[in-house]
Structure 1
């Protein structure tokens, strides 16, 4: 689409949106005023929503999701966004609906001069597909953990997710080109002393916002780290022996949120939980009751400030 045509459509979409949302005109009335059809007005309003010209927010403490959100906040001290999803919905569709809602709201969290940490994975990948454009300046999208393994560098997969965030927010992208897990903890320690790696670690230590999903081997939509060739049989045996219930950015933890003594973490490339807790806003997105044990561990670790969760899983959390 040519720039002039795009500009004209944006102008028309803004006018239609103002008439519809601010002046309460019907689509028929708007069509008459703009001398176009009702279907064209509908497309203009959709364009306004999809491109971020219009930001729709719903706040109601009266319906069940609102009540659940209040209960989650009171019990766990986090701001909850409960997304209505029928119990019969598959985990695949559940994730898509939660990811869409999270992506729409995430735009309001992001602003200029921010460093935003992103943990690649199935959940964050879904969110990246629904982002609404919001131009910022002097902002950075920072990869939280490495993505390489013995089968792939992981660069193509992780960079696609990061690129979507960077494009949507006009932000610089800082990739972290290291393995998800090192073979030897000593190799990791040497790599962490390199100046090029130190630069990324220093950026991670000054983040304004982090976005992550919760990894678990039990979900209907498997976590990327458990299905992408990152772990072998001895690794799974070690995780079971250490009582692990999940991971965030390839850092594994137990049901009480503890990470001390989890052998795999000495080889992992993700940020420590102490580093994550220093980030002012920590956005966690969860879909599916199979992730409840992992979610409870993350809440016990005090890693979450904002939680996006489907209604069924939220009921299970507070049951």
Structure 2
């Protein structure tokens, strides 16, 4: 079939619309236009060669690499790992960032390392995806108190058991409430040499793995029986979330010194000294607490989702 250039352009454009917009096969287009199938193929190539058609591949992995590099630069992080997510659904995000965190641990944990862990739904998802480690003499310790003040499950026991199995060790739990009713009781308990040793082990751990919480009404820390309603209201006015159960402001500073003095766990400042201080957290609800944790310098590794990453760059 011979065509002049103008007719060829018109026919090529028609073929492009039928093929790329209407989803017809080359055979269907050939039948519809009474043109041979090889001619259809040549017209599609002609359209590309003439600049009539531009094919753009939207590679989310490439976009994630760029986002990760921008976050690393903005918040001075040694590593950012992103998973693609379009749902903004914690039930969908947590398993994916949990798996990414477990994969990352497999690449960094070496002989004689010590891993400090927190608890909660996000860390439960990390624990669910752990791989049996080949590293020797790895120790695991909880970074904060683990005894719940209610029947609500904080996953602490399950998490520590799964870490113990994955790293072939007897993980050490911190058998205390994470927030005491008053500071005096906490001070008395903290005099115990066994408790002191656990806290020090958390401070000395070269790897810390933790998440960030919110100050929404459904926040786990608000529903474990540690805090009164007035205290919760006060924290909602002052804080944007918590890191290792220590509530922080939008700029990463402690939000309430009185409640902090009742809190059992490593001090926030200890997170800054870790070889790997890994924050695993995602969704729009946690953007404020993630940003605050990064501004406070409490993490040098961030594992989150693509939408959260974009919000953190805004």
TM-score grouping bracket, smaller chain normalisation = 0.7 to 0.9
Per the TM alignment, residue 188 of structure 1 is displaced from its structure 2 partner at its CA by 0.8
1:153 to 1:193, Cα distance in 2 relative to 1, 3 A? farther
Q: Deviations over 1:110-159 (max 9, x none)?
A: 122011100011111111001111133221110111122433597x9312
Root mean square deviation, CA, Å: 2.2
Partners of 1:253 and 1:262 within 8 A in 2: no
1:162 to 1:254, Cα distance in 2 relative to 1, 3 A? same
Structure 1 partner of 2:16: none
Count of aligned pairs: 255
Structure 2 partner of 1:188: 186
Q: Deviations over 1:25-70 (max 9, x none)?
A: xxxxxxxxxxxxxxxxxxxxxxxxxxxxxxxxxxx99810000001
Per the TM alignment, residue 202 of structure 1 is displaced from its structure 2 partner at its CA by 1.8
* Mapped partners of 1:153, 1:314: distance in 2: 30
1:265 to 1:106, Cα distance in 2 relative to 1, 3 A? same
Secondary structure class of the residue paired with 2:174? coil
The reply on whether 1:205 has 2:200 as its aligned counterpart is no
Structure 2 partner of 1:160: 158
Structure 2 partner of 1:238: 234
The reply on whether 1:83 has 2:83 as its aligned counterpart is yes
Aligned mate of 2:221, from 215, 222, 225: 225
Partners of 1:95 and 1:123 within 8 A in 2: yes
Q: Give ranges in structure 1 of 5+ residues lacking alignment.
A: 1-59
* Mapped partners of 2:310, 2:194: distance in 1: 45
The reply on whether 1:299 has 2:298 as its aligned counterpart is no
When Rg is computed on C-alpha atoms for both structures, the one with the higher figure is: 2
TM-score by length of 2: 0.76
Partners of 1:83 and 1:311 within 8 A in 2: yes
Partners of 2:239 and 2:255 within 8 A in 1: no
Q: Deviations over 1:66-106 (max 9, x none)?
A: 00001001111112111112x23522112211211221122
Secondary structure class of the residue paired with 2:150? coil
Structure 1 partner of 2:276: 281
Per the TM alignment, residue 189 of structure 1 is displaced from its structure 2 partner at its CA by 1.1
Partners of 1:121 and 1:225 within 8 A in 2: no
1:157 to 1:286, Cα distance in 2 relative to 1, 3 A? closer
Per the TM alignment, residue 214 of structure 1 is displaced from its structure 2 partner at its CA by 0.5
